[in-house]
Structure 1
Amino acid sequence: MSARIGVITFPGTLDDGDAARAVTYAGAESVALWHADDDLHGVDAVVVPGGFSYGDYLRAGVIARFAPVMESVIKAAHGGMPVLGICNGFQILCEAGLLPGAMIRNEGLHFLCRDQWLRVENTETAWTTRYEQGAEILIPMKNIDGCFVAEKSTLDELEAEGRVVFRYVGGNPNGSRNDIAGIRSADGRVVGLMPHPEHAIDALTGPSDDGLGMFYSAVDALKLAV
């Protein structure tokens, strides 16, 4: 039986279709989850995809954090379910308290849309075991609220505990502290990043297929958990 990975759709979500496609590319079953439904339908993992949930009114991700589906995701994550937040999904996970820190407007106040090199800093999460430590991967990014910030004590803790998962290389595009592009929870089951691995799963449609490793990693983790 294949792993079942849920992909959430909020009003304003843009990348749920590509996330679902990435899940199926990795050999798992993609299950559509609706923001107003608190039933996770028995999924084994969840992807919170990118876009502009609820129009990013108030601030990015803050309204989505209170959606019924997120209440169930928070509970499941505390129980060890793998959760991946991409771009707006990362913002939502920070708002939900599943990851520390916050996302603010990019330095320069410009929307960024480009292919971005990342260095894989941690290969011991549920979403990164397929990568080699220090590997550099090329995946797209597109955001305006992509600058990761946190208290110095939080940044020090993330660095000391190896919880920085991805770091920008070749220049910091948005002013994120410590060049951080993605982080993980203490148990390594929840990961958030600003760039979009779901847009880099096939060299025909993306700059590379480097993002597919994240979804293969999740499938591997779910098989080991059986």
Structure 2
Amino acid sequence: MKKIKVIIIRTAGTNCDYELKSAFELCGATVDRVHINELISSKSKILSYDILAVPGGFSYGDDIASGKILSNEIKYKLGDNVKKFALSGKPIIGICNGFQILVKMGLLPKPENFEQISTLSYNDSNKFECRWVHLKTEKKANDRTLCLWTRDLPDVISLPVAHGEGKFVADKKILDEIEKNNQVVFRYCDKNGKDTVYPQDPNGSLNAIAGICNKKGNVFGLMPHPERYIYALQHPSREGYDGVYGWGKKIFQNAIDYLK
């Protein structure tokens, strides 16, 4: 069986692309870090890959707003192929700055519409927040998550966050639609899966949302960093699902296994 091919889009200011590459390679994929300019000069190249990943960092220094410039570049110069990639059912993930980019180009929560209908705004604390948080894995659809990236995760996991603009915001109609469609993937919580407040909830997101997916479950965006918790020893308490690996690895492995 041929290896799964992953493309990681990078540009000035992205700084989590090597960790993301390492995570996918550990799961058995072949990974290319490709600069946005190379994709713009060869627009169909992106369709030759099986998984699309947009990493964390501070793309273009987060000028204007977090992820806004890169989201516009992707949408208006690669938009047709990116939308085609999403609607084909291929896995897409955006982490932290990548989540901001997916939302601001309109690939989440409705890639079929491809219009921005939500955003990620400034943390309620008005400062950069960097810590480990607990996340509740939503499993409302037949006790199973809708998102292919988060299958077989326990009810509560922990991942690190590091962001200044992570507050998920949408109007009530959109928020209700996301909830009704089971598109919320992760919520900030305490260690027992209960509702929590700052600092365990680092940004004040509406409905404590930490990650969402599209209705098909293949496009996934989240503020916490799974690529920073690949090994159990990376956790302050050395938690892990088998004594060796962290829950971050399981997230990437899910996408590879789904395609296989």
Partner of 1:153: 173
Cα distance between partner residues in 2 of 1:11 and 1:211: 25
Aligned to 1:177: 206
Match of 2:106 in 1: 97
Q: What is the CA distance between 1:41 and its match in structure 2?
A: 6.8
Distance in 2 (CA, whole Å) between partners of 1:199 and 1:77 is 25
Using the aligned pairs only, state the percent identity: 41
Measure, in 1, the Cα distance between the counterparts of 2:235 and 2:83: 31
RMSD: 1.6
Q: Flag structure 1 segments of 5+ consecutive residues without an equivalent.
A: none
2:147 to 125, 134, 141: 125
- CA distance in 1 between counterparts of 2:217 and 2:187 reads 16
Alignment match, 1:46:
52
Matches within 5 A, 1:1-12: 1-12=2-13
2:178 partner SS: helix
Deviation at 1:70? 4.9
Of 88, 92, 98, the residue aligned with 1:79 is 88
Which residue of 69, 72, 85 corresponds with 1:66? 72
More moved, 105-114 vs 59-68: 59-68
Cα separation, 2, equivalents of 1:37 and 1:63: 17
Shift of 1:37: 2.2
- Secondary structure in 1 matching 2:247: coil
Contact 2:159 2:248 in 1 (8 A): yes
Query: CA–CA distance in 2 between the matches of 1:194 and 1:174?
Result: 10
Superposed, which structure 2 residues align to 1:187-206 within 5 Å? 187-206=216-235
Cα deviations by residue, 1:125-171 (Å, 9 ceiling, x for unpaired): 22112324xx2111100000000000111111111111000010123
Superposition deviation, residue 216 in structure 1:
0.8
Q: Which of 111, 115, 126 does residue 128 from structure 2 map onto?
A: 111
Residue in structure 2 matched with residue 214 of structure 1 by the alignment: 251
Aligned residue type for 2:86: A
Asked if 1:23 corresponds to 2:24, the answer is yes
- Higher helix residue share: 2
TM-score, reference length from structure 1:
0.92
Task: State whether residues 50 and 88 of structure 1, in contact with CA within 8 Å, keep that contact through their aligned partners in structure 2.
Answer: yes
With structure 2 as the length reference, what TM-score do the two structures score? 0.81
Query: Counterparts of 2:100 and 2:133 in 1: how far apart (Å)?
Result: 19
User: Is the contact made by 2:147 and 2:218 (CA closer than 8 Å) also made in structure 1?
Assistant: yes
- Runs (5+) with no aligned partner, structure 2: 40-44, 110-117, 140-144, 191-195, 240-245
| Conservation of the 8 A alpha-carbon contact between 1:64 and 1:70 | no
Note the C-alpha offset of 1:80. Answer: 2.1
Instruction: Find out whether 1:167 has 2:196 as its counterpart.
Output: no
* 1:189-208, Cα deviation, whole Å (9 max, x unpaired): 10000000000011233444
Q: Do 2:134 and 2:189's aligned partners in 1 also have CA atoms closer than 8 Å?
A: yes
Q: Name 2:113's counterpart in structure 1.
A: none
Query: Which letter does structure 1 place at the counterpart of 2:3?
Result: S
Aligned partners of 1:200 and 1:124: how far apart in 2? 22
Q: Name the CA distance, whole Å, in 2 between partners of 1:88 and 1:216.
A: 21
